[in-house]
Amino acid sequence: MGVIFKFKLGTPAFFRRKAGAVCRPVPASTNQGSPPHETQAGQASLNLPKSRETVEDMPEGQARQHISQIVRKDLQDKGLSRSTADIILAAWRPSTTKQYATYINQWLDFCRTRKIDSVQTSVIAVLEFLSSLYERVGYSAVNTARSALAATVTLSDGISLSTHPLVTRFMKGVFNLKPPRPRYERTWDVTIVLSYLRGLWPLTSLSLQDLTMKTCMLLALVSAQRQQTLHLLSITSMDVTDSAVTFSVDELLKTSKPGKTGQKLVLKKYGHDSRVCIYTHLLEYVGRTRPLRGQETYLFISTRKPHCRVSRDTIARWLKLVMSKAGIDIGVFKPHSTRSAAASKVGRTLPVENIMHHVGWRSEATFQEFYNKPIVEEVDSFVSALLGDTADSTNEVTDL
């Protein structure tokens, strides 16, 4: 069938709405800012955070600017122009900057305490810093810190920190002593959450908050996408036919790289049970929120005034709340676990190729290592066999 309708509300706007209320999308990150100057001691003055304020506490754009000053100066000292340095800095995604900020801030504190140069230093100082981290964190965190320092520190012996033989051997030692392990050895049973969601019916009786959270959870499960993808969905790129809703995501995703940009998300109608049909819920949600969103074009908006686009953290909070209400142990399982829970559920019955195509994975090893987990048994197997499954699993989501 052809397209029934396509939402067109104009271009996404950076706008103000209603006196006293400001709606703004997440500000674009910037690399602007003056290069740091030299102090009398010869160290770079980096406009460090005041007292207890850390780089992590800063708004994302400010933290990126703060850290970029360090890297930009190093690049310019090597002879690169400011414009070229800014292009190189753009290689960092905001999420990378956020991760690096944690360890760069700790490195600056480490150097201040020992009164050593934080930009040009010895490999001994770097190893001592990484060793201090090793006492508190695992291999992945130490390796992230190493990557952050490799982008901001110049070793006095002229060897690149990334390839320095002592650093390489140190990291191998950390790996052997604290080998990285997946966050989850098991995952939760999707049927428990689906049983809870079926109870939120009919849609017309739900509050906007309940409708929003139910739609968000169904979308996370049926699509098995990251919260980043859900956050980027827009009704201007939403095509609706009589059998499916299709979103085109043209913005950069975590998996985007040269030759692989953009993604299409096809969400088919599930006629067996409207209570868990993502098609039905999306149409109801968009219809319910149309009078509230003004010029806001991103799919998920706040349930309270002003009805602006929500952050990724809000989406995570919605998923976590639904999991908690359904009876999932949120002390163990985080909102991102919806991805492995959905994939593990369908992995029992569907070929791996089907799952990889639906979710967008290119490597079967990714699915097997990180997402295909044993499902936690919520009830004793004998009791379950005797009394029957406590979860309503007669109508399961089969779009995956």
Give the tens place of pLDDT for each residue, 289-328.
999 999 999 999 999 999 999 999 999 999 999 999 999 9
Residue 224 in domain:
yes
- Decide: helix, strand or coil at residue 45: strand
Residue 279 in domain:
yes
CB atoms closer than 10 angstroms to residue 138: 16
pLDDT digits (tens, 9 = 90+) for 20-32: 344 544 443 333 3
> How far is it, in rounded angstroms, from Cα 202 to Cα 65?
48
Residues 255 and 295 grouped into a single domain: yes
| Strand partners of residue 98 | none
How far from 60 is each of 30, 92, 126, CA to CA, in Å?
10, 13, 26
Q: Residues 88-95: what's their mean pLDDT?
A: 74
Out of 177, 199, 228, a domain closes at 177
Residues 203 and 158 grouped into a single domain: no
Residues 205 and 305 grouped into a single domain: yes
Residues 140 and 276 grouped into a single domain: no
Residue 353: its pLDDT value, please? 67
Residue 305: its pLDDT value, please? 92
Residues 161 and 299 grouped into a single domain: no
Least confident among 2-6, 106-110, 277-281, 284-288? 2-6
pLDDT digits (tens, 9 = 90+) for 230-239: 999 999 999 9
147, burial (CB in 10 Å: exposed 0-12, middle 13-18, buried 19+):
middle
Residue 364 in domain:
yes
Residues 80 and 198 grouped into a single domain: no
Residues 159 and 292 grouped into a single domain: no
Name the token pair of 149: 């320092």
Higher pLDDT among residues 147 and 64, named by residue: 147
| Residue 128 clears pLDDT 80, i.e. is over it | yes
Residues 327 and 353 grouped into a single domain: yes
Domain with residue 42: its CATH number is 1.10.150
Residue 14 in domain:
no
Number of alpha carbons in the 13 Å side-chain half-sphere of residue 160: 6
- Specify the pairing of strand 154-155 against strand 120-121: parallel
> How far is it, in rounded angstroms, from Cα 77 to Cα 80?
7
- Decide: helix, strand or coil at residue 121: strand
* Number of domains composing the chain: 2
Residues 241 and 340 grouped into a single domain: yes
| Residue 60 clears pLDDT 80, i.e. is over it | no
Number of alpha carbons in the 13 Å side-chain half-sphere of residue 90: 10
Residue 311 in domain:
yes
State the average pLDDT for the chain: 76
Tokens 């100066």, residue located: 73
Residues 241 and 369 grouped into a single domain: yes
Residue 274 in domain:
yes
Residue 147 in domain:
yes
Residues 242 and 343 grouped into a single domain: yes
> How far is it, in rounded angstroms, from Cα 212 to Cα 266?
19
Residue 183 in domain:
no
Residues 165 and 202 grouped into a single domain: no
Out of 152, 177, 202, a domain closes at 177
Domain that holds residue 56: 37-177
- Residue 168 — φ and ψ, nearest 5°? -60, -45
Confidence of residue 363 (pLDDT cuts 50, 70, 90): low
Higher pLDDT among residues 349 and 391, named by residue: 349
Out of 125, 149, 177, a domain closes at 177
Domain with residue 250: its CATH number is 1.10.443.10
pLDDT digits (tens, 9 = 90+) for 182-231: 776 788 999 999 999 999 999 999 999 999 999 999 999 998 888 888 99
